């Protein structure tokens, strides 16, 4: 059978070349590539027995666990799409996503059974329900007719008899971003492999034939050991795991439901983790603090990478002090564009910079490239291998995936940027969040980085609130460091050494805990509510 750049084909090829090598570690469970492949194959047979096949969608409503990876691989084996579901969703959000994705099956942790009970009657197409045991002790209502995961796969065949697959099979990744309802990004398997999963050779030229993936994995006696700190339901966590498995390396998953930085470093020490993947300061800050509180053997860590949220310089400096031989990487990419670039150095002015290739550009309103060094602000764009568009949203697809006057297709997901004279892209922030104060455009991320560089600030999110004179003014929602006492004047004076005065926060709202997504992304709607519901005095 011909191998394709199809994610199940690629994984099976690796598993056949390194069957006895460890693939996943989750708590006390350790699975080899052969065992992981067999469990995924049995689950695929179970799903096929429920008439789920190519083109269908299978929901994964799970915390990080080996069953999450098995569920994704099982869907790939059938030519179906696994659908990532945020485990923090309440009933209405869960119902919306399951309905929007037209799910036929849902695999969920037992803890979530009450929510599933509440929404399942309104989702008649979702006829197959499988729950993963946990320590919650939650009752699984008999009315659900849900099957326990291990029982569902126990008697199933481990034979790969699924027929030939296609590189055109759809990989569907739901992304909430920072605003709006979640939307499904549709990728062809072949395109996401090269654009998002780095073509089977991170940091180097992509492979040129599917068979090379397994051959390269077998030839690599010291493959990467990857620990995704972000949830697998986030693109960062899932993509970094798939990159690790494609390299024939071990993926290590933490058991804690919330970030436990000491657990992460204990796993790094025990499993000799070489690659850590996080999303911004919300994860990096507690991890830096844990390293300062306790000594760990971190000599195995080759790369510590952040993508999906800005990574402040003071936190990177704290990490560098402990991870002395580790590459601290600012990676830039998105669900709609894949991997776009990285920065291994410092961003001295608090802006994210990265070197761009021929496939990335900053485009003006006429979809023409902005001249390097012109200072002109445009939209960051990517061409080449791109998603097909957004699931069931042709209007959003037409706005985000555009064709320039020369007939070239680009994705423009909303990030504003400029191009330095040396060709480096300077990312300013998401245009939809831009604050317009007296005609000046202010990007929240830039102000947030300035605020977080203050020693008394643990976390910060910036929003625009209505202003009679200026249209909008900058409001800062700040979580102080324990024991810190902060004032607006103090923070404004500090920020004035990093950013122009018109960008300074005019209001300060202190909170005990910052609300972020499980992946570490800012909840701007929540922050705006905090700011606008206050009395306005700051």
Q: Which fold has domain 7-258?
A: Rossmann fold (3.40.50)
pLDDT in tens, the chain (538 residues): 799 999 999 999 999 999 999 999 999 999 999 999 999 999 999 999 999 999 999 999 999 999 999 999 999 999 999 999 989 888 888 999 999 999 999 999 999 999 999 999 999 999 999 999 998 999 998 878 999 999 999 999 999 999 999 999 999 999 865 445 789 999 999 999 999 999 999 989 999 999 999 999 999 999 999 999 999 999 999 999 999 999 999 999 999 998 999 999 999 999 999 999 998 888 998 999 999 999 999 999 999 999 876 677 888 899 999 999 999 998 888 899 998 888 877 665 666 788 888 899 999 999 999 999 999 999 999 999 999 999 999 999 999 999 999 999 999 988 889 999 988 898 887 766 888 887 777 888 889 988 998 999 999 999 999 987 778 899 999 999 999 999 999 999 999 888 878 889 999 999 999 988 776 778 888 998 999 887 544 4
For the chain, give the number of residues: 538
**348-366 as b/e, with b when 16 or more CB fall inside 10 Å?**
eebbbbbebeebbbbbeee
303, 329 in Cβ contact below 8 A?
yes
CATH placement of domain 434-533: 3.30.300.30
460, 452 in Cβ contact below 8 A?
yes
Give the tokens for residue 219.
Answer: 């030839």
CATH placement of domain 356-430: 2.30.38.10
Q: How far apart are CA 170 and CA 388, in angstroms?
A: 9
| Parts of the chain belonging to CATH 3.40.50.980 | 7-258
State the DSSP code for 466: E
Q: Is 118 exposed, middle or buried (0-12, 13-18, 19+ CB in 10 A)?
A: middle
Element (H, E) at 316: helix 313-322
| Parts of the chain belonging to CATH 3.30.300.30 | 434-533
Region of 383 please: left (phi>0), alpha (psi -120 to 50) or beta. beta
Q: How far apart are CA 334 and CA 349, in angstroms?
A: 23
| Parts of the chain belonging to CATH 2.30.38.10 | 356-430
| CB atoms near residue 318 (< 10 Å) | 18
159, 41 in Cβ contact below 8 A?
yes
């Amino acid at each position: 059978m011909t191998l394709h750049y199809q994610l199940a084909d690629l994984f099976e090829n690796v598993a056949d070349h390194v069957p006895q090598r460890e693939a996943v570690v989750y708590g006390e469970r350790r699975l080899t590539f052969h065992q992981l492949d067999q469990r995924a194959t049995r689950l695929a047979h179970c799903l096929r027995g429920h008439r789920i096949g190519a083109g269908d969608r299978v929901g994964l409503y799970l915390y990080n666990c080996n069953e999450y990876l098995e569920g994704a691989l099982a869907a790939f084996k059938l030519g179906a799409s696994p659908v990532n579901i945020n485990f923090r969703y309440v009933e209405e959000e869960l119902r919306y996503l399951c309905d929007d994705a037209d799910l036929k099956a849902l695999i969920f942790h037992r803890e979530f059974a009450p929510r599933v009970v509440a929404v399942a009657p309104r989702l008649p197409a979702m006829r197959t329900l499988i729950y993963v045991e946990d320590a919650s002790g939650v009752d699984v209502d008999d009315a659900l007719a849900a099957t326990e995961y291990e029982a569902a796969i126990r008697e199933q065949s481990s034979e790969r008899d699924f027929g030939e697959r296609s590189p055109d099979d759809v990989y569907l990744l739901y992304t909430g971003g920072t605003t709006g309802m979640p939307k499904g990004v549709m990728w062809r398997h072949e395109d996401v492999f090269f654009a998002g999963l780095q073509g089977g050779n991170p940091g180097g030229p992509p492979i040129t034939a599917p068979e090379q993936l397994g051959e390269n994995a077998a030839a690599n006696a010291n493959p990467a050991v990857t620990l995704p700190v972000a949830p697998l339901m986030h693109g960062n966590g899932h993509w970094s795991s798939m990159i690790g498995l494609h390299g024939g390396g071990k993926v290590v998953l933490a058991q804690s439901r919330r970030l436990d930085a000491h657990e992460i470093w204990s796993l790094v020490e025990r499993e000799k983790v070489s690659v850590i993947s996080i999303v911004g300061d919300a994860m990096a800050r507690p991890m830096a603090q844990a390293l300062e509180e306790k000594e760990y053997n971190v000599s195995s860590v080759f790369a510590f990478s952040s993508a999906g949220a800005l990574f402040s310089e003071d936190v990177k400096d704290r990490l560098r002090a402990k991870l002395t031989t580790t590459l601290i990487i600012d990676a830039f990419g998105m669900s709609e564009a894949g991997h776009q670039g990285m920065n291994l150095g410092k961003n001295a002015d608090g802006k994210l910079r990265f070197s761009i290739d021929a496939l990335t550009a900053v485009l003006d309103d006429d979809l023409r490239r902005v001249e390097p060094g012109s200072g002109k602000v445009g939209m960051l764009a990517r061409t080449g291998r791109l998603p097909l568009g957004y699931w069931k949203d042709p209007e959003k697809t037409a706005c985000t995936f555009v064709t320039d006057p020369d007939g070239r297709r680009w994705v423009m997901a909303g990030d504003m940027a400029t191009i330095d004279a040396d060709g480096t892209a300077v990312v300013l922030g998401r245009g939809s969040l831009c604050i317009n104060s007296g005609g000046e455009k202010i990007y929240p991320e830039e102000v947030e980085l300035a605020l977080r560089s203050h020693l008394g600030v643990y976390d910060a999110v910036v929003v625009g609130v209505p202003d009679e004179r200026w249209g909008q003014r900058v409001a800062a929602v700040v979580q102080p460091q324990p024991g810190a006492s902060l004032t607006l004047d103090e923070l404004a004076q500090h920020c004035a050494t990093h950013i122009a005065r018109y960008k300074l926060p005019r209001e300060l709202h202190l909170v005990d805990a910052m609300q972020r997504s499980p992946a570490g992304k800012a909840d701007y709607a929540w922050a705006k509510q905090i700011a606008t519901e206050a009395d306005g005095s700051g």
